[in-house]
Structure 1
Amino acid sequence: MTEEQRPGLRIGILGAANIAPASLIEPAKRNPEVVVAAVAARDGARAEQFARKHGIARTYDSYQALIDAPDLDAVYIPLPNGLHGRWTRAAIAAGKHVLCEKPFTANAEEAREIATLAAESDRVVMEAFHYRYHPLITAAEQIIASGELGKLVRVETALSFPLPKFSDIRYNYDLAGGAVMDAGCYAVHMARVLGGATPEVVSAQAKLHDPRIDRAMTAELAFPAGHTGRISCSMWSTDILRISAKVVGESGSMRLINPVLPGMGHLMVVRTEKGRRIRQFGRRPSYDYQLDAFAGAVLHGEPIPTTPEDAVETMTVIDAVYQAAGLPLRIPS
């Protein structure tokens, strides 16, 4: 392939992560402006096996070596939570654009530090809240902004799924694990998006895996405009599987079923005095929309909503949930 034929955005993956095929590799095959050009893993054999399986041309046996590669434009970071900040810093320092999995960092202090570094650079640094780029969420925002539901009264968001493998890294405090970090970051982010602002945390109750790790959490929220909210999340509880959002206003309500992975099936149900209507927005994966947005930001200067500054707001709420529940904040690994 000549330089003129080279895709516009060459991305390297840090870690042979299970999420990478769905979140980046397959979407890149459907995006003519993007190629996944390299993968790094601490185990070189694992990187090579992953590369062969997914048709990736080059491997590295260290994360830093990939970051330093001069022909890569961007880095995708699907590492454990506690490593996100460390390797985002390294990528920015090396002049790379960054697509970092959520949660963006281990805590709000680290998010603020990364946001400052990103602002001082000319690089695109984007948190990978893929659901945010799906037309379902765009339509939900438009309905709220239109006033059709009236003045907001209540916003409730939930993400619960079963993870009974307690050796999983998501239960590891040293890797910034916990239900709020893994599942709850979605619930917190959705509450912020649909609630229209960053809320205060009024109270929080945790179900514990160990003294520092939450396996489930609920929290009550208060928004600046006067409406209230609730987030709930779980990796192991009686709430086996729930992915939903509900917005109640003085004139109507809106319910979103499966807003996190809408490409696997979703519904929007709006109820007002005019009646009930149900909408769907196609099965194209939200990861495809996310990659389109990342490429658009890097190659064409298009704006994105999941900026480092946005991540600071989300991590501030996550920290407040842990504090209200009497649990320690997560720390970088």
Structure 2
Amino acid sequence: MLRIGLLGASGIAPAAIIHPAERRTDVTVMAVASRRPSAAADYASVHNIERFYDDYRALLADPDIDLVYNALPPSEHAEWSIAALEAGKDVLCEKPFAMNAAQSERMLQSAQATGQRLIEAFHDRYHPLNVEIDALIASNRLGDIVSLRADFSVSNPFEPRGIRHVPTLGGGALMDLGCYPVHWVRSLMNAEPLVVSALASINPLGADVSIEAELRFPSGTTALVTASMAAGPQETSTLDIVGTEGTAHVDNLVFPSTGHSISETIDGITRFSTVRGLTTYDHQLEAIVVALTNHTPLPTEGTDSMNNMIVIDAIYAAAGIDRSFI
């Protein structure tokens, strides 16, 4: 039985952890911690969680917790992921992994020193749709990859108290949304890109409302990565692949279980397909259980997390956004 403790009485945890755990017999969410008065107790009552704590360190001291799910604001990912690792817990840390690459490096050093697992929660990477996209590239049906375009945009009107709009808490379109398409193109190319240019629009607090960045990989492949919180009412997460022999368009990479499509065009003929699967979070939890049991690596841990933050840092620098507050 994998016993999970939640850092933060977060809105994402029910979909990401609680409900997937309820659908299994080998995982239980045992405890939740929140620093807000009575929040942990109320949350535990609503979600039928056995234990609750008003202090994060009290949860980390619980000897019955195996894995800590860190869904705190990004500004607290490094501190509390490291604390959990040092307390002898494995950690599933929400994206974005940290505030910058320097923090992520310290987190990885702690994981190595403690021998605990530190996994980034890019849940989409575990869905069969991603396996299908990888297979499409590996098959070489599209030929050499010339360019990529990746976008994740969700309407999120400005709210000065919302963490997604406050830069010191890790807010901004690139941190909240753009980290996904950065991860998609890096994973597809299995290489690290150079940031050629970047452009952002900024909210009154200094966080990016939208951002676009041009990347170039060592192969010469270019990638345009975009993210926006100022989009229309419909959420979009898309990937376009242009090869020397054909093109492909993937719709809804982030939540494919709600409906997605792959269109592949070669020699003027377009073929549409979908991939059977559960929610991305169910697949992520399954992968974690298997990896912890068999001591096998996962695609969203180790240097992958730091390399994603290196690209994010470079995009912010290219866009002229000052993040010296970190």
**Normalised TM-score (structure 1):** 0.94
Greater mean alpha carbon deviation, residues 239-248 or residues 191-200? 239-248
How many angstroms apart in 1 are the aligned matches of 2:324 and 2:54?
28
Match of 1:26 in 2: 19
Q: Please say if residues 166 and 206 of structure 2, whose CA atoms lie closer than 8 Å, have aligned partners that are also in contact.
A: no
How many angstroms apart in 1 are the aligned matches of 2:270 and 2:100?
41
Match of 1:82 in 2: 75
Kindly report the root-mean-square deviation, in angstroms, between the aligned alpha carbons of the 2 structures: 1.5
Alignment of 1:214 with 2:219, yes or no, is no
Match of 2:100 in 1: 107
Alignment of 1:43 with 2:3, yes or no, is no
Match of 1:4 in 2: none
Alignment of 1:248 with 2:242, yes or no, is yes
How many angstroms apart in 2 are the aligned matches of 1:294 and 1:84?
19
Match of 1:155 in 2: 148
Aligned-partner residue type, residue 196 of structure 2: V
- Per-residue CA deviation, residues 40-92 of structure 1 (Å, 9 max, x unaligned), is 01124111111111111110001111011111111001111110011010001
Aligned-partner residue type, residue 105 of structure 1: A
Picking from 121, 126, 129, the partner of 1:133 is 126
Match of 2:167 in 1: 173
Ranges in structure 2 where 5+ consecutive residues have no aligned partner: none
Q: Equivalences for 1:193-204 in 2 at 5 Å? A: 193-204=187-198
| Secondary structure of the structure 1 residue equivalent to 2:292 | helix
| Secondary structure of the structure 2 residue equivalent to 1:306 | coil
How many angstroms apart in 2 are the aligned matches of 1:150 and 1:239?
36
Q: Please say if residues 81 and 106 of structure 1, whose CA atoms lie closer than 8 Å, have aligned partners that are also in contact.
A: yes
Aligned-partner residue type, residue 284 of structure 1: L
Match of 1:5 in 2: none
Match of 2:85 in 1: 92
Q: Please say if residues 179 and 234 of structure 1, whose CA atoms lie closer than 8 Å, have aligned partners that are also in contact.
A: yes
Match of 2:269 in 1: 275
How many angstroms apart in 1 are the aligned matches of 2:144 and 2:135?
14
Greater mean alpha carbon deviation, residues 124-133 or residues 261-270? 261-270
Alignment of 1:306 with 2:276, yes or no, is no
Match of 1:329 in 2: 323
Picking from 66, 72, 75, the partner of 1:73 is 66
Picking from 259, 266, 271, the partner of 1:265 is 259
How many angstroms apart in 2 are the aligned matches of 1:176 and 1:266?
29
How many angstroms apart in 2 are the aligned matches of 1:118 and 1:130?
20
Picking from 135, 141, 147, the partner of 1:142 is 135
- Per-residue CA deviation, residues 102-141 of structure 1 (Å, 9 max, x unaligned), is 0000001111111122122221110000000000011101
Alignment of 1:235 with 2:229, yes or no, is yes
| Secondary structure of the structure 2 residue equivalent to 1:210 | coil
Per-residue deviation, 1:187: 1.4
Q: Please say if residues 40 and 47 of structure 1, whose CA atoms lie closer than 8 Å, have aligned partners that are also in contact.
A: yes
Per-residue deviation, 1:245: 0.5
Q: Please say if residues 203 and 220 of structure 1, whose CA atoms lie closer than 8 Å, have aligned partners that are also in contact.
A: yes
| Secondary structure of the structure 1 residue equivalent to 2:44 | helix
Match of 1:3 in 2: none
User: How many residue pairs are counted as aligned between the two chains?
Assistant: 325
Match of 1:9 in 2: 2
Query: Structure 1 residues 131, 330: CA separation in 2 closer, same or farther (over 3 Å shift)?
Result: farther
Greater mean alpha carbon deviation, residues 169-178 or residues 313-322? 169-178
Per-residue deviation, 1:300: 2.0
Percentage of pairs with the same residue: 41
